[in-house]
C-alpha cells in the first residue's frame, strides 16, 4: 500500500518537486527506491534516522514525461 500511495503522490507533484518519505525497514524500504527509479524519478538520498526508520528523498525530474 505504501508503494501505491507514493506513486500517486509523485504523479500529482510538479516537475522539480521533492517528496520526503519516512519508511520502516522491510518491504517498502526494499521496493520503493528501485520502483520509482524505474519510472524515471531520482532518489536523492536515503538515510537512517532511527534504529529501523529511514528517510528517503525522491525528486520528480524537471524534464519528466510520463
Q: Which set of grid coordinates corresponds to residue 42? A: 531520482
Q: How far apart are CA 33 and CA 30, in angstroms?
A: 7
Whole-structure pTM value: 0.88
* pLDDT for position 31: 93
Q: Cα–Cα distance between 65 and 20 in angstroms, integer?
A: 21
Query: What are the CA-CA distances from residue 53 to residues 32, 43, 47, 63 (Å)?
Result: 14, 17, 9, 31
| Residue 16 in this model has a pLDDT that exceeds 80 | yes
Q: Give the model's pLDDT for residue 66.
A: 54
Q: Which residue is it, cell 526508520?
A: 53
Amino acid at each position: 500500500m505504501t508503494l501505491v500511495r507514493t506513486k500517486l503522490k509523485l504523479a500529482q507533484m510538479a516537475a522539480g518537486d521533492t517528496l520526503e518519505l519516512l519508511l520502516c525497514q522491510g518491504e517498502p524500504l526494499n521496493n520503493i527506491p528501485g520502483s520509482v527509479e524505474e519510472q524515471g524519478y531520482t532518489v536523492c538520498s536515503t538515510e537512517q534516522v532511527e534504529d529501523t526508520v529511514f528517510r528517503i528523498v525522491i525528486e520528480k525530474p524537471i524534464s519528466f514525461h510520463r
